[in-house]
Amino acid sequence: MKWIAHINKPRKIDFEIVYDESVGYYLYVYDSNDIESKDELQDTLEIAMQVAKEDFNVPIDAWKISE
pLDDT the model gives residue 7: 87
Per-residue confidence band for 39, with pLDDT thresholds at 50, 70 and 90: confident
User: What is the rounded distance in angstroms from the CA atom of residue 56 to the CA atom of residue 64?
Assistant: 17
Mean pLDDT, range 12-20, rounded to an integer: 93
Per-residue confidence band for 17, with pLDDT thresholds at 50, 70 and 90: very high
User: What is the rounded distance in angstroms from the CA atom of residue 44 to the CA atom of residue 10?
Assistant: 28
43: part of which helix (H) or strand (E)? none
Please answer whether residues 19 and 66 qualify as being in contact, where contact means their C-beta atoms are separated by less than 8 angstroms. no
pLDDT in tens, 41-56: 999 999 999 999 999 8
